């Protein structure tokens, strides 16, 4: 039979993974496939944003008391609809939903997973065509999967080191789906000719060092003195030849730093005492990805993945990047 050199689709990649894991049932692969379907639908909206009625604000405010952009609301609905119509997770939590949403039916109650997501991160950039992203993390339930046993709030308040898989999609010059499991970090680029995510960034490793430092300079004088002292160490070291790059879209800033190396921080500020970024669907998923790729993620005082969550929407300071910056 003729040999055809083709790139693996996300599903084909997962089939290979599942075949190598004796106890795997394929449920996690089904959940990743469902999420990839939802983000393909979001990708259509993002790519035609200026031609569809998806720009600007929705007129809603979320539990964070933040303006919900139309695309936030549309993306949230796309992900919710696909996951609730599937049977590969027992429930979800979203930045745009006040509380967890339990899919309480015999099929979904038997799923061993729950999923948390930020449907569109960086939404303030939507109207200016700057790269934005979607972020998710998947945990195994603490509650017992059974037809009459719905998931519980406790399932959604697990520390990040319990993550089974986490990932992001960056809607940029190309649309790339990056996800991590304990078997590594891999990136898949959407091939619009076949409508599939295809393996393009196998076995991503965070460079040991990097020359990019990312933080919002406008907040510098709101940083604590220890944060300024920490930054001064690198900004005054002539041997590091640092460049400051800050897109203001977490997924875009972190995807660049994951590939090229560097440091990103959103520390405590006067306006955001606990930092601005949310632990359960921004910091933990990104910290798990960086750690699996050889990077580091802390609050400045403790590892992000070790934090025991107390609130679904709690914020934490984050310093994340190449190991060099944590020596
Ligand atoms: P600031 C975007 O609104 C976001 O949630 C992240 O994507 C981004 O890293 C951060 O906030 C930017 O915040 O205060 O610098 O505009």
Whole-number pLDDT of residue 49: 79
| pLDDT value of position 78 | 97
Q: Where a domain ends, among 201, 227, 242?
A: 201
Last residue within a domain, chosen from 142, 177, 201: 201
Q: Nearest-CA neighbor of 249 among 111, 136, 128?
A: 128
Q: pTM for the whole thing?
A: 0.95
Question: Pocket around ligand 1: residues whose beta carbon is below 6 Å from it?
Answer: 121-122, 124, 216, 248-250, 276
Same domain for 81 and 39? yes
Closest-CA residue, ligand 1 atom 12, reads 248
pLDDT of 34: 97
Which of 120, 124, 254, 280 gets mutated to test ligand 1 (max ligand atoms within 8 A of its CB)? 124
Q: Considering only CA atoms, which residue is closest to atom 5 of ligand 1? A: 122
Of 135, 169, 201, which residue constitutes the final position of a domain?
201
pLDDT given for residue 73 in this prediction: 92
Is the same domain home to 150 and 33? yes
Whether 15 is in a domain gets the answer yes
Separation of 122 CA from ligand 1 center, angstroms?
6
Residues 291, 173 share a domain? no
* In a shared domain, residues 276 and 190: no
Burial environment of residue 101 by CB neighbours within 10 A (0 to 12, 13 to 18, 19 or more): middle
Task: Give residue 191's pLDDT.
Answer: 96
- Closest atom, ligand 1, to C-alpha of 124: 3
Same domain, yes or no: 284 and 144: no
The reply to whether 277 and 318 lie within a common domain is: yes
The answer to whether 113 and 166 have CB atoms below 8 angstroms apart is no
Instruction: Return the best residue to mutate from 248, 266, 317 for the ligand 1 pocket (most ligand atoms within 8 A of CB).
Output: 248
The total of structural domains in the chain comes to 2
In a domain, residue 235? The reply is yes
User: Within this chain, do residues 134 and 183 fall inside the same structural domain, yes or no?
Assistant: yes
CA 217 / ligand 1 centre spacing (Å): 12
Do 42 and 132 belong together in one domain? Answer: yes
> What CATH number should be reported for the domain holding residue 241?
3.40.190.80
**219 & 197 share domain:** no
Do 163 and 250 fall into the same domain?
no
Q: What is the pLDDT of residue 59?
A: 87
CA of 125 from ligand 1 middle (Å) equals 9
- Same domain as 151, residue 248: no
Q: Does residue 34 sit in the same domain as residue 161?
A: yes
Residue nearest ligand 1's atom 1 by CA: 248
Domain-embedded: residue 197: yes
Whether 4 maps to a domain, the answer reads no
State the residue range of the domain holding 192. 10-201
* pLDDT of 152: 98
CATH number of 129's domain: 3.30.540.10
Q: What is the pLDDT at residue 21?
A: 84
Residue 247 maps to a domain: yes
Q: What is the pLDDT of residue 301?
A: 95
C-alpha 6 to ligand 1 mean position (Å): 38
Ligand 1 mean position, distance from CA 249 (Å)? 6
Distance from the alpha carbon of residue 126 to the mean position of ligand 1, in angstroms: 12
Does residue 1 fall inside a structural domain? no
Q: Which tokens is 39 given?
A: 């983000």
**Which residues, in sequence order, are bridge partners of residue 324?**
none
Structure confidence by residue, pLDDT tens digits, 89-142: 999 999 999 999 999 999 999 999 999 999 999 887 888 999 999 999 999 999
CA pair distance 98, 77, nearest whole angstrom: 14
Residues of the chain with pLDDT under 70: none
The pLDDT value recorded for residue 74 is: 94
């Amino acid at each position: 039979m003729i040999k055809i050199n083709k790139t693996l689709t996300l599903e084909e990649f997962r089939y290979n993974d599942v075949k190598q894991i004796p106890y795997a049932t394929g449920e996690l692969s089904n959940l990743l496939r469902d999420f990839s379907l939802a983000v393909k639908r979001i990708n259509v909206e993002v790519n035609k944003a200026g031609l569809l009625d998806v720009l600007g604000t929705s007129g809603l405010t979320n539990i964070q008391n933040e303006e919900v952009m139309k695309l936030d609301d549309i993306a949230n609905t796309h992900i919710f609809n696909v996951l609730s119509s599937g049977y590969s997770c027992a429930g979800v939590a979203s930045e745009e939903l006040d509380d967890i949403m339990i899919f309480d039916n015999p099929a979904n109650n038997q799923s061993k997973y729950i999923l948390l997501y930020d449907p569109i991160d960086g939404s303030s950039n939507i109207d200016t065509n700057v790269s934005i992203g979607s972020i998710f993390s998947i945990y195994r339930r603490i509650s017992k999967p059974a037809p009459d046993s719905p998931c519980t709030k406790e399932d959604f308040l697990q520390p990040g080191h319990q993550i089974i898989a986490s990932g992001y999609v960056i809607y940029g010059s190309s649309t790339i789906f990056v996800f991590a499991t304990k078997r590594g970090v891999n990136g898949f680029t959407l091939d619009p000719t076949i409508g599939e995510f295809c393996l393009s960034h196998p076995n991503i490793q965070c460079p040991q060092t990097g020359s990019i430092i990312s933080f919002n300079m406008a907040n510098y004088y709101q940083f604590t003195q220890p944060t300024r002292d920490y930054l001064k160490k690198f900004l005054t070291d002539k041997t590091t030849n640092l460049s400051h790059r800050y897109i203001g879209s977490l997924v875009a800033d972190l995807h660049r730093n994951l590939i090229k190396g560097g440091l990103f921080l959103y520390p405590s500020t006067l306006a955001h005492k606990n930092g601005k970024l949310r632990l359960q669907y921004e910091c933990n998923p990104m910290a798990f990805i960086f750690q699996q790729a050889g990077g580091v993620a802390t609050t400045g005082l403790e590892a992000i993945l070790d934090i025991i969550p107390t609130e679904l929407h709690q914020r934490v300071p984050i310093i994340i990047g190449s190991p060099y910056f944590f020596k």
